[in-house]
Structure formats: C-alpha cells, structure tokens
Amino acid sequence: METLCDLVARDRRSERPALRIPGVSRAYSYHDVCTTAWKAGNALRYLGVGRGRRVELDDDPFVAPVVTFFGALLLGAETSFVPGEGEARAVVVRRSREAEFDDLPPGRKLVVYGGPPSSPTVAHWERDVWSENPSFPPVAVAPTDPALVTDGRAYAHADLLAAARRVVDRFGLDADGDVAVRAPLRRPGTVAAGLVAPLLAGGTIVFPDPDAGGERVCDLGVGTDCPDAAEIAPDAVELD
C-alpha cells in the first residue's frame, strides 16, 4: 500500500468486521466501510472538496468521522480532527454541535450527522452520504501528499502508513486483531495506531463504551489505562 486510500480500495471489500462500536446494533464490515467512504467522498466532492482543500472532522469515536476521513483522502484533500482549527472547505460534526459552527464564513460548509440539521443551509450527513452513488472516480493521490494536519503540522500518507506498519509489526496485529481506541483522534498517534494500523492488518477498529469497562479483551489498546492485553500511548507512536 502506498497511500491511505489503498485501505478502502475496491479489492478490500469483504464481510470481515472493520469497525465495531459497542452500543450500536451492528458491526461495520470492510464492505460497509469501503463503500461508505466512497459515498462520503462523492458527497464531499459536491461541496467543493478536492486537492488542496481541508475537511475538519469531529473528534468523535463514531462511524461518520472515520469513513469521512477516508472519503476526504480519496479526493486528495487533507483532514483534521479539530473542527474550527483552520480554513476548511467542509466541517463535519455531530448534530449536537451545530450551533457551535453556525457562523462559518462564505465558502465553508457545515455538515452534521446523528440527526437532521435545524438550519436548511446545513448539510445532513446521513441523507447526503447514503443517497450517493457507491462508485468513485479515481483521483491521483501521492504518498507525499498531506493527509492529516494537527497543531500546525502536516503528516503525509506515507508518514501515517509507515507508523502504522511499525505498530502492526511491534504488536503482531493480523486479520483477527482488534484495536481498542481510547485516545482522542486529534492526536496523530491515535490515527496511525488506532485507525490505520488495524485496517492495514485486516483487523477491526473498536470504539469501546467508556462507561461499560472492557467488555472483551482486545489485542491492543490505543491510549492509557486500557484494560487490554497490550497498550500504546499515542505519543509513543513513531511518526518521523
């Protein structure tokens, strides 16, 4: 794999679980994640997202930010999990945060998920994404293109993939591995170890319920105080 786009390529579609969120009635398969990432990319394209543009995502352990992260990357855009940090073309947040971003300047578009928006000028993630065509015209994306921006620093596709490979090798992750994400997505180490590494290995991303404790042991926990077999702090993920 050369870019993060390869993680949601057509040949990766299968019924194996890719994302599990306790409390949500269903797991999301690789087929679900890949197809929804393509749909999210098409919806973002309609909003004017493309190469050189940024998409800011809610730092929220839920399916919408994850698949929209990959949908933006498929367009050659850069992403951030800190909404309001920069001059993003699209800002994607949970419905409960709509009022925080109701004064975006012209040229920037607010998208909410988890329910319909209260304003007709705000895009509705579920409606727009699910209605999109599940095919995606290819966009040329290079390993050196910026994929994630945080604290004013950009991390390229190759940076995050290399860091994820080190995590996979260090912890022996494979297609049967589950990785529990208990650290904020705004930290690049969380993205590399918690999102990219399990998909790279063919395993499963798990967003545990913080109030339910460890309902099962995962192969790796990303964050501190993880009741898992092994854990790694985001700051310990080598990104250089």
* Same domain membership, residue 103 and residue 62: yes
Q: How confident is the model at residue 26 (pLDDT cuts 50, 70, 90)?
A: confident
Q: Which DSSP symbol is given to 235?
A: G
* Same domain membership, residue 124 and residue 161: no
* Same domain membership, residue 85 and residue 117: yes
* Same domain membership, residue 230 and residue 171: yes
| pLDDT reading at 42 higher than 90 | yes
* Same domain membership, residue 200 and residue 159: yes
The structural domain count of the chain equals 2
Q: Say whether 57 sits in a helix, a strand or coil.
A: strand
* Same domain membership, residue 214 and residue 180: yes
7 domain-assigned: no
138 domain-assigned: no
CA-closest candidate to residue 201, choices 229, 226, 172, 230:
172
50 domain-assigned: yes
For 214, the domain range is: 147-236
Summarize pLDDT for 181-207 with one digit per residue, the tens: 999 999 999 999 999 999 999 999 999
| pLDDT reading at 89 higher than 70 | yes
The CATH number for 36's domain is 3.40.50.980
* Same domain membership, residue 151 and residue 211: yes
Summarize pLDDT for 123-151 with one digit per residue, the tens: 999 999 998 878 877 789 999 999 999 98
3 domain-assigned: no
* Same domain membership, residue 180 and residue 122: no
* Run of H or E including 151: none
> In the chain, what are the helix, strand and coil shares in percent, each to the nearest 5?
35, 20, 45
Of 104, 130, 156, the residue at which a domain comes to its end is 130
What span, in angstroms and rounded, lies between the C-alpha atoms of 224 and 226? Answer: 5
Of 130, 165, 180, the residue at which a domain comes to its end is 130
* Same domain membership, residue 174 and residue 96: no
* Same domain membership, residue 164 and residue 125: no
* Same domain membership, residue 219 and residue 171: yes
Tell me the pTM.
Answer: 0.95
* Same domain membership, residue 99 and residue 165: no
The DSSP-derived string for 183-202 is S-TTSHHHIIIIIIHHHHHT
Pairing of strands 146-150, 153-156: antiparallel
45 domain-assigned: yes
11 domain-assigned: no
Of 130, 155, 183, the residue at which a domain comes to its end is 130
For the record, the structure tokens of 7 come out as: 């993680």
What span, in angstroms and rounded, lies between the C-alpha atoms of 110 and 57? Answer: 10
Summarize pLDDT for 91-115 with one digit per residue, the tens: 999 999 999 998 898 889 999 999 9
Calculate the average pLDDT of the chain.
Answer: 92
Q: How confident is the model at residue 212 (pLDDT cuts 50, 70, 90)?
A: low
4 domain-assigned: no
197 domain-assigned: yes
- To the nearest 10 degrees (0 to 180), the angle between helices 63-74 and 30-46 is 60
